[in-house]
A and B are shown apart, each in its own frame.
Chain A
């Protein structure tokens, strides 16, 4: 029948590629929808303080970022109910970055120039943060970034409330070396975060007597993991540690097929750095039971602050919702900003707010945190094991919060460098050779 319809292979290839090309074009050009929810109306008489929330509400990252928006809005609502900041209500303006990095930069510009917000809370992927960074630096504005990341960055205009590598990846590697074995296989998605993270891990293993027996990267969205499993089995015939920096759908395929291949957590424990409570539900508890994840916050953290946080969150969004680390970091960000504004006595003078932010402390759900002069916060590091209920059983936590180090001390290029925005005696406070190093 193909012949009668005049459709041959070549035409098929031509049409097929034309369609694929068009689809890419349209995806790239599509205007992001604004999901303002009433936040777009300008404030009457300036009796509110406007802040921006910039996350992906559509596209591939919406799954993760939507819940961070929920946590940010919860924090703002709580502050407003308690009387606001400097006697004014906070008015959040929500923008959709649509999982598209140029859109993030565009929306950041819009929030700053058009809406005149005094701070922006948002971004998730490193790619989106790198896209908005020049905007915030050029306009000397302020971004609060809530997700653990690969480090190797220190901007005057960004406050990082997620973990730097020395607050998540490095302690996780140390714990594995002490408890689970010396031989590591590194699996990651093929983009910036896993590759940078694995560079750090390899340098750390070399320094501490571990061994990297292999590494492999899956293209984002690829779900055929049979070849990787063979590589792991060949590199680690008698068991060993798998360090997993996969993102998104590939995780589901990886864990489902790992079990079938007989690589069980007793011999092949995996440590993940981007699987939290929400992802466990989507992958299936059956496949993850007994595996590990490293974060600063788990829903099961036993502090009075966390009980209140989880209760307030469930009351607002539903009893079946779960909280996770980036959500908690977003909650911290809003509260730290509020304290900085109150100490500065102004929300509009960003320079004063920036100076006041440094040194702020807050009793967060994860425990006490403090903003350091390098614009990162100290955080407690925890390792959790997935239990029957899909929540994490905390098997290790650092006795004290760990101080943040944005420049990695295992990688040769950044070893000995520090960041301190209170220093005036060095040329570049963002990256200078620390004394004694």
Chain B
């Protein structure tokens, strides 16, 4: 009994992490049809936000430090959502309906974000801000004036060269004058340490089963996120609009729904959830520029197995994959078999963490052969594939 209880809990705790990392992806992919390969990097930004908040609270003293998560979770949501909106407004909205281009563009964004976190320093921030002020400000100013046609084409390139040049030079000059304080990267390429508050360290032993507090917290956080999404999509006005746009974009636009705002909002929601997931995984594992990469493949698997566009599917898929992963990896299959039998040797061979990963992928491939549309396929004539 204890054994069953333990395996259900551990499977669920793996599944909760999978679900949390896949939720944002499921929303963006399921509702908007956008494959966001930068999703992992949005998680990474959430994790770094947690790191910054934690350092801020550490300055305040030990008593305050324990409370940092309550600020870190919403702030991680806000930061990732903000970057998500920038991404949607700056890149993705030009690519709707072109999945391959979206995929490549978001992959490029993910590489840029990784490198940005490695090299960002005060000097670089200054350069970026200066560039944005000069370039976008200049364009805005010039757009107010009428410029004769032959020169119009030159405005953007000239502005670009000028702002890049001025931004770079100013940054280098200030960096050279102030020295290491300006040019030292904030985070660097090496991983940074996020320590859980003292009430999340350790765990509790009930009925012979160990419950780590961090896992309980993540399960609770996942549940809260699910309920919040459910309420938002089904009970709020914007949720209704999102669902309307999902079903029929042009008809929704005709009825006066601001579809562009809806797109940005949906993307912000998905990205914000990635930020929350990043905050959660920073308690479990490492925080480094490539943190997101460790989770993105599994997150996509959850979405695909669940059936695209169905959040219920993602929930079932995440818990299922988590449970299978746990049962194979922990060698529980061999527990009921007699040692020295052929069957035992067979299962023993597969009972390792590396093998669990292989087996889960094989099972997913086999499953998709049987049900190519996932656990909960969308019904109706519009389904292609």
Q: What CA separation (Å) do A281 and B287 show in the bound complex? A: 12
Residues of B with C-beta under 8 A to A351: none
Total inter-chain residue pairs, C-beta < 8 Å? 178
Q: Taking CB as reference atom, which chain B residue is nearest A67?
A: B190
User: Is B354 a contact of A190 with CB atoms below 8 Å?
Assistant: yes
Residue positions of A touching B, CB distance < 8 A? 1-13, 15-16, 19, 23, 60, 62-63, 66, 190, 216-219, 221-228, 230-231, 233-234, 249, 252-253, 256-257, 259-262, 278, 281-287, 318
Query: Which of A1, A4, A62, A227 has the most chain B CB within a 10 Å cutoff?
Result: A1
Chain A residues near B103 (CB-CB < 8 A):
15-16, 19
The 6 closest A-B pairs by CB, nearest first: A227-B329, A260-B212, A8-B385, A252-B286, A223-B285, A284-B193
Q: Which residues of B contact A234 (CB under 8 A)?
A: 330-331
CB of A1 within 8 A of CB of B249, answer: yes
Cβ-defined contact, A62 with B284, below 8 A: no
Complexed CA–CA distance, A262 and B205 (Å): 9
**Are the C-beta atoms of A5 and B33 separated by less than 8 Å?**
yes
A282 and B293 alpha carbons, distance in the complex (Å): 18
Q: Contact mask B186-207 → A, CB, 8 Å, 1/0?
A: 0001111111100001110100
CA A13 – CA B373 in complex, angstroms? 12
- Is A9 a contact partner of B286 (Cβ separation < 8 A)? no
Q: How far is the CB of A413 from chain B (nearest CB, A)?
A: 23
A6 to B29 Cα, complex, angstroms: 13
A221 contacts B294, C-beta separation under 8 Å: yes
For the complex formed, measure the closest distance between the CB of B325 and the CB atoms of chain A, giving whole angstroms: 7
Find B385's partner among A9, A217, A225, A284 (CB 8 Å cutoff). Answer: A9
Given contacts A62-B189, A260-B213, 15 further A-B contacts (CB under 8 A): A2-B29, A4-B249, A6-B97, A9-B385, A11-B99, A12-B99, A63-B190, A217-B352, A223-B285, A227-B10, A249-B288, A257-B284, A260-B215, A262-B203, A284-B194
* A222 / chain B contacts, CB cutoff of 8 Å: 294, 353, 357
Given contacts A9-B304, A249-B191, whether A226 and B326 have CB atoms under 8 Å apart is yes
With a cutoff of 8 Å between Cβ atoms, the chain B residues found around residue A6 in the complex are: 97, 99, 384
| Nearest B residue to A190, CB-CB | B354
Question: Across the two chains, which residue of chain A brings its CB closest to B288?
Answer: A249
Q: Convert B22-39 into 0s and 1s, putting 1 for each residue whose CB lies closer than 8 angstroms to a CB of A.
A: 000000011111010100
- Report Cα–Cα, A278/B205, bound state, in Å: 33
Instruction: Determine whether the beta carbon of A257 is less than 8 Å from that of B212.
Output: yes
B384 touches A227 (CB 8 A): no
Bound Cα distance A15, B105 (Å): 13
A260 touches B97 (CB 8 A): no
Among the listed A8, A11, A231, A253, which residue makes an inter-chain contact with B331, where contact means beta carbons less than 8 Å apart?
A: A231
B73 within 8 A of A: no
Interface pair B193/A2, CB less than 8 Å apart: no
Can you list 10 A-B contacts (CB < 8 A)? A3-B384, A5-B33, A5-B96, A16-B35, A16-B300, A216-B353, A253-B284, A260-B201, A261-B203, A284-B193
Chain A interface, DSSP helix/strand/loop, else mixed? helix
Q: Which of A226, A231, A256 has the most CB of B within 10 A?
A: A226
> Are A15 and B352 interface neighbours, CB within 8 A?
no
Asked if A15 contacts B329 (CB within 8 A), the reply is no
**Residue pair A227, B372 in contact (C-beta under 8 Å):** no
B382 at the interface (CB under 8 A from A): yes
Contact B100 A15 (CB under 8 A): yes
A230 vs B325: C-alpha distance in the bound complex, in angstroms?
12
Residue B375 interfacial (CB < 8 Å): no
Q: How far is the CA of A63 from the CA of B330 in the complex (A)?
A: 31
A57 nearest CB neighbor, chain B only: B189
Question: Interface readout for B80-117 with A: 1 if CB under 8 Å, 0 if not?
Answer: 00000000000000001101100110010000000000
CB distance B325 to A249 under 8 Å? no
Pick from B189, B202, B325: contact of A227, CB below 8 A. B325
What's the least CB distance linking B311 to chain A, in Å? 14
CB atoms of A262 and B285 under 8 A apart: no
A2 to B385 alpha-carbon distance, docked (Å): 11
CB-CB nearest in chain A for B357: A219
Cβ–Cβ contact B357 & A261, under 8 A: no
B44 at the interface (CB under 8 A from A): no
Partner of B283, one of A10, A60, A256: A256
Whether B286 lies near A13 (C-beta < 8 A) is no
* CA distance in complex: A190, B215 (Å): 25
Residues of B within 8 A of A1 (CB): 31-33, 245-246, 249
| Bound CA–CA A261/B201 (angstroms) | 9
Give the chain A neighbours of B356 by CB distance below 8 A.
227
Pairwise interchain contact A5-B214, C-beta atoms closer than 8 A = no
Query: Which chain A positions have C-beta within 8 A of B332?
Result: 230
> Digit string of B365-382 for contact with A (CB within 8 Å is 1, else 0)?
000000011100010001
Check if B75 is an interface residue, CB within 8 A of chain A. Answer: no
Give CA–CA (A231, B201) in the complex, Å.
21
Please tell me if B14 contacts chain A, counting CB pairs below 8 Å: yes
Minimal Cβ-Cβ distance residue in B for A4: B249
Contact B107 A23 (CB under 8 A): yes
Q: A7-B99, A224-B325 are in contact. Are A12 and B308 (CB under 8 A)?
A: yes
- Chain A residues in 8 Å Cβ range of B32: 1
- Give every chain B residue within 8 A of A226 (Cβ-Cβ): 10, 13-14, 326, 329-330
Q: Measured between alpha carbons, how far is A256 from B193 in the docked complex, in Å?
A: 10
Q: What is the bound-complex CA distance between A320 and B326, given in angstroms?
A: 41
Q: What residue in chain A is nearest B190 (Cβ atoms)?
A: A63
Query: B329, A228: Cβ atoms under 8 Å?
Result: yes
Q: Give B249's nearest chain A residue, CB to CB.
A: A4
Chain B, 307-365, CB within 8 A of any chain A CB: 308-309, 325-326, 328-332, 352-354, 356-357
Q: In the complex, A190 Cα to B37 Cα: how many Å?
A: 27
In the complex, whether B146 has a CB less than 8 A from a CB of chain A is no
B308: chain A residues at CB < 8 Å are 2, 9, 12
B17 close to A (CB within 8 Å)? yes
B180 within 8 A of A: yes
Residues of chain A lying within 8 A (CB to CB) of residue B195: 284, 286-287
By a CB distance below 8 angstroms, the chain B residues around A13 are 304
B383 at the interface (CB under 8 A from A): yes
Selected contact of A231 from candidates B17, B190, B194, B330, CB within 8 Å: B330
Would you call B210 an interface residue if the criterion is a C-beta within 8 Å of the partner chain's C-beta atoms? Answer: yes
A281 CB, nearest partner CB in chain B, Å: 7
Pairwise interchain contact A216-B191, C-beta atoms closer than 8 A: no
B201 in complex: contacting residue of A10, A12, A283, A286, CB < 8 Å: A286
For chain B, residues 159 to 208, give those with C-beta under 8 angstroms from any C-beta of chain A: 180, 189-196, 201-203, 205
Q: Which residues of A contact B372 (CB under 8 A)?
A: 9-10
Using A2-B30, A19-B107, A253-B284 as known contacts, say yes or no to A261 and B212 having CB atoms under 8 A apart: yes
In the complex, chain B residues whose CB is within 8 Å of the CB of A5: 33, 96-97, 99
Assess A282 versus B193: contact at CB under 8 Å? Given A15-B99, A249-B288: yes
**Minimum C-beta distance from B30 to chain A (A):** 7
Docked Cα-Cα span, A166 to B284, in Å, equals: 34
Chain B residues with CB under 8 A of A10:
372, 385
A2, A9, A216, A282 interface centre (most CB from chain B within 10 Å): A2
Cβ contacts under 8 Å, B374 to chain A: 9
B96 CB → nearest A CB, Å: 7
Write out the residue numbers on chain B whose beta carbons fall within 8 Å of the beta carbon of A217: 352-354
Query: Which residues on the A side are within 8 Å of B294 (C-beta)?
Result: 221-223, 249
